[in-house]
Structure formats: structure tokens, C-alpha cells
Structure 1
Amino acid sequence: MSFARFGGPDVLRLIDAEEPHAGPGQVRVAVRAAGVNPVDWRIREGQLLAAHPIELPSGVGLDAAGVVDEVGEDVEGIETGDHVFGEGSDTYAEFAVLSAWARMPADLTFEEAAGYPSVMETALRVIREVGVRPGQTLLVSGASGGVGSAVLQVARHEGIAVIGVAGPANQDYLHSLGAAATTYGRGWVERVRRLGQVDAALDLAGSGVIRELVELTGDPGKVVSIADLRAPDLGVRFSGAAGSMPDALAETARLITRGELHIPVEKTYTLADAAAAHTDSQAGHARGRRVLTI
């Protein structure tokens, strides 16, 4: 999948391209599934050129799960035929090169595995950046999506209470992940206050609630956004620089193996339907993850 100009989902084109090859410290996988992340369509629209400079035409996608079929120099502990999930470049494709990977936990499908890498790296990073501690309460706006699902489960594992805000259809889902929950709409700030004192807050949806999150925490330094590029105008940190993906993958595999982490796949798409996947991702209201199957 490729795009030759910045724009909406309609700029995506399925093309024949040369096969990539693993360089030093990399592996190539025959992709079985690719994760669909908001960063993918933000890059496609040209929103993140400072953080993700690209040359056009460009491929699409960062996350994938598949079968290793080529191992680069200086790579140890992995062989062709191994099933892995991880992060690389241009993963909306039959073959992709990964720069960070981990073996897939037993019983995890390729579709499930593809949904974890960027989501878990982001969740672990923003929990750390917002400075919330065990015994405190974290408010999460956009709590039912992929990153939100990860944040709720990681927070629970670390002894952090969570209040999640999401649409009416996802209230039971948030409760199932151990969060107190409420909806958006008139009076939502008061509903949050009735659920408890808020020590820190995350904006995962970019739904224009930064001012309210600052009001609830009492401190813009206790709010982090991954979705609202205007957050710094209100003194709120916009988190865009990725942390250690190898560490995130290792923690992901550990939590999954221990039965402490599960992010459902809400919907799968074929590679040819990548534009529809981007349209749905931009619309929000997800419960878990969206992935492409190859």
C-alpha cells in the first residue's frame, strides 16, 4: 500500500513494489497482519512531518505480525520460520522489514499480535510521562480504543485506579477492564467528579477536552495528550516521541503470557480495504483494535 501525495484515505493505492530486504539488526517477515494506528493516517495526511519525515511516494504502516523469512547481519536468537510481532516500516504489505520484534506468545493469533506494538509502547510511555503513581486515580479520555484498552490494563496491574470516558456502547467494556466509567456529553465533568478525585489525565481521542482535563486535575502538567496537536497551547504535553519498542514488546509478551493483558480485535480488513480501515480509525469509537489481514 502506498500514497504519492498527502490527503484523505482516497490517496492510498495498492501497488506492486520491490521486495524489501533485512539490513543489519533487522528481520524481514512475511506479513500475516498489520496494525492500523491513528499515527498511520496522521502521517498520510502530512500532520507529523517534523516527527516522521518521509519522501513521497511512501508506504504505510508501522506494526506487523508475521513469519520471519530473512534475518539480517548481527541478529541473534531468531530464525527463519519464527512467528514474531513488532515494529518496522511500510507494514501494509506482503513483506516488511522490522527493526524491533519479539516472539509471539503461544495461542496469540497474527491478527491479535499485530494490534499490540505501537499501542503498548504508547500506553507504557504516557503512563510514565503523566507521572501517575500506585494508589492514585488516572482519568482516561478515549478509554475504549487500543491505547485506552492497554492503559486501563497496565494501570490496573500497577495499582492505579482509572476513570474511563467513552461512548455509551462501551461502558460495560470499560467496567470489564476494571475502570469506573462515564460518557461524554453535557455534565460529563461533574459525573467524573462524582466518581472520584482525579490525580492525572490522558487525552487519547483528541475530542477537544483538554481544558476540562486541566480543570479536573488542577494542573496542566498532570495532563498528557497523544491526539490533540493544540495541547501545548494550553500548557499540556503532547507525547509523540516513541520510547523503547524492544522493552515495550518484552513487557507486552510478559503480560499476555501471564493472562494480564488482552486487547480485542474489533474489526479486520483486507489489504485492499486499507482506505476503509483509515476512515473507520479516524471516526473513532473503537473497542480495541483494527487490523489488516494479508
Structure 2
Amino acid sequence: MGFFLETLFGGLMAGMLYSLIALGFVLIYKASGVFNFAQGAMVLFAALAMARFAEWAPQLLGFDNKILANLIGFGMAMLAMIAVAWVIERFVLGKLVNQEGITLLMATLGITYFLDGFGQTLFGSDIYKIDVGLPKDPLFLFESVFQGGVLISQEDLYAAVIAAALVAALSLFFQKTATGRALRAVADDHQAAQSIGIPLSRIWVIVWSVAGFVALVAGMIWGSKLGVQFSLSLVALKALPVVILGGLTSVPGAIIGGLIIGVGEKLSEVYIGPMFGGGIEIWFAYVLALLFLVVRPQGLFGEKIIDRV
């Protein structure tokens, strides 16, 4: 039972990080109808920016203070993501209003390769370190209940708490603030939102900036765990099955979908993997997403599209 709980907790914590990345996909799709294939590249770009700015900060300050360097790195990386959001709206989305969905998808693919290349041109292509002080030592829980206790990674636990807090804050932002309500109005009907004076260009810059902030936090957490390297953009692709499972237009769906994927892949790898020689964790999420596309293509919480002819 103790080993099962270890696997379950590990899956929940990984799932919360998947949910955080998936939230970036959902935010942009809700506000602009664009499936942002560039979210993974945004995670990599943001993590590279933070790692390098934090590394350069002591040289600018003249003294080495890790906390201050990380704060400067985070702030400068956030400014970079806002600049990316403005450039995308000004030179890409603003030119493709009312275009077909496949055109917008191809545009985000172009943004993906641009960010991958431009980020490595600006910040380098080595493996960089982000150290935000997350504890690395394991934690043993329920030692009086299970022999040896339940082993939990403190780093994963703190990362999951940060991700959960950010998801909750964004949910409140959408529900309680005027800007959040404007974002939801744009998501429901672009033309109706424009007719009541909501500027689409400003809303798109805001939502891409928020998605950039989400990408930065995700990149910071994954960069702390794995190092900042090209594989971060591949980790972000794990969020694709999450949004298919939860629904492209649902913030709660991104959360539930991430938890299901995280727990499912861990349990399947541990309990079913030995029967197939392992490796189930790599493809489990995509097979589950494929099944949902066949049975319920709108996802668990997505809106069902009905075409009347």
C-alpha cells in the first residue's frame, strides 16, 4: 500500500505540472481560437531567459546574491515574454484575423521554430541551471502506518503546490476581475465583444502575456528539475494529451486532465509496464488522448460543437 501511495502522489504532482502547461494552451484557445502549438517553445524560451538573466545579474550588480539574481532573472524573463506577446499580436495574429484555423495553426508552428532558434541565438544552446532553492532531499511520510513510510520528493511537492496556487489564482482572475470577464467575453464571441468596445488586440496581448507567465513558471520548475535544455519543449508536448482529455476550452478540464494523465502514466508504468517491457509512461498519455478523440472528441469538459444544416 505504501508503494502504491508513493506512485499515486508522484503521479499527482507530475500531473499538476502538466496542468500548468496545458493551461497556456487553454487560455490562448479560449481568447483567440488559436491552438498554440508554440507553447512548448515558449516554455523553453522563458526558461532560457530566466537562467541566463539570473546568471548575468551578479555581473551587473557587482555582488553575488542568489535570491536577488533569481528575482531579476524572473522579472527580465517576464518582460521578454510580454515583448514576445506584443510581437506575436502585432506581426502575426493581427495580420491573420478571420483566417482559417489551419492558417493560424501553421502560424504557431512558425512561431515555435522561431522561438527555438532565436532563444538559442540570444541565450546559447548549452544546458543551463536554474536554482530557485527548492529542496532536493526526499521526505518520508506515514512512517508509523507503513513500514519504511511513503517516500515523497520535496522538490516535486513544492513544485506541485506552486503550480496549484498559480492555477487557482488564474481561475480567480478569470472569474472576478474585469479583464478576466473581458477575456471570457472575447472567448464567447469576438464580434460581440468588439461591438461593446472590448479591443481584441489588447486582449490578445494580455492573454499571450499570461500564457507567457504560465510558460515562465513551468519552465522555471522543470528547469530546476531537469536543467534548461531543448528537451523542455518536448516535455511541454505532454500537455497536448491533457487538453484533448480535459477539453480545449475548459480551465477545470486542464486541471483534471493533467491529474488523470499524471497518475495514469505513473501507475501504468509501474503495474502494467513490466508485462510489456516498460516504456508505457512515454506513450500512455497519447494513446489515452487518441481513445478520447474517437469516443468524445470535445474532451471531458469541452463544449460540444453542433453544426446545423
The answer to which structure has the higher strand fraction is: 1
TM-score calculated relative to the size of structure 2:
0.22
TM-score where L is the length of structure 1:
0.23
Whose relative contact order is higher, 1 or 2, with alpha carbons under 8 Å and at least 6 apart?
Answer: 2
Higher fraction of helix: 2
Bigger CA radius of gyration:
2
